[in-house]
């Protein structure tokens, strides 16, 4: 890969799809598609760029996890499984490659103002208030919040941080 694009210093595994269906209605093919998109693609990209990062003794791999990887959310079993797999990948990969100067971390976004959030809330003010009531900061995050956290984790300021999942969720994951 490096012959085509040069050395890569930061890989952000952010591609994904969402499937909102009950576990009983989710087909094995749908489940597999979600896993392929989130898990197998992330593994394949990491595998492709790791040899150069290890050889240069420098690099950052960042996964985009989710609140769904931290606690149970109904109707998103495939998505939760995929995002939970990211957590295992972060921890395992960090133990393998951090000694070679490659750090591996994840951000776990909470409710972020986006088309996906708008679609999920679908004009449901009760659900919106329920979410905000369980979020200590009492607001939704922005894409910039995620970008700043990602920038920090891939910067020299985080030079001694590897194998962590950073919730960026206004405190929603700390409990009720």
Q: What angle do CA 123, 145, 148 make, to 5 degrees?
A: 160
- What is the greatest pairwise CA distance in the chain? 53
Token pair listed for 126? 């009760």
Q: What angle do CA 36, 11, 1 make, to 5 degrees?
A: 85
Active site residue 85: no
DSSP letter for each residue of 109-158: E-SBSSHHHHHHHTT-HHHHHHHHHTSTT-S-B-HHHHHHHHHHHTSGGG
Catalytic residue among 79, 89, 94, 109: 79
Q: Does residue 102 sit in helix, strand or coil?
A: strand
**Do the Cβ atoms of 108 and 65 come closer than 8 Å?**
yes
Where in the sequence numbering do the catalytic residues fall? 79
């Amino acid at each position: 890969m490096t012959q085509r694009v040069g050395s890569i210093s930061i890989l952000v595994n952010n591609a994904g799809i969402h499937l909102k269906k009950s576990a009983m209605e989710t087909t094995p093919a749908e489940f597999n598609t979600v896993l392929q998109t989130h898990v197998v693609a992330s593994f394949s990209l990491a595998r492709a760029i790791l040899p150069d990062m290890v050889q240069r003794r420098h690099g950052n791999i960042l996964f985009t996890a989710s609140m769904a990887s931290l606690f149970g959310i109904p109707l998103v079993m495939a998505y939760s499984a995929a995002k939970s797999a990211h957590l295992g990948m972060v921890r395992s990969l960090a133990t393998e490659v951090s000694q070679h100067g490659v750090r591996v971390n994840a951000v776990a976004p909470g409710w972020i103002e986006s088309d996906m959030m708008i679609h999920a809330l679908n004009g449901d003010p009760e659900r919106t208030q329920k979410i905000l009531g369980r979020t200590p900061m009492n607001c939704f995050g922005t894409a910039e919040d995620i970008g700043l956290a990602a920038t920090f984790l891939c910067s020299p300021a985080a030079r001694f941080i590897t194998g962590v999942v950073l919730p960026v969720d206004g405190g929603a994951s700390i409990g009720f």
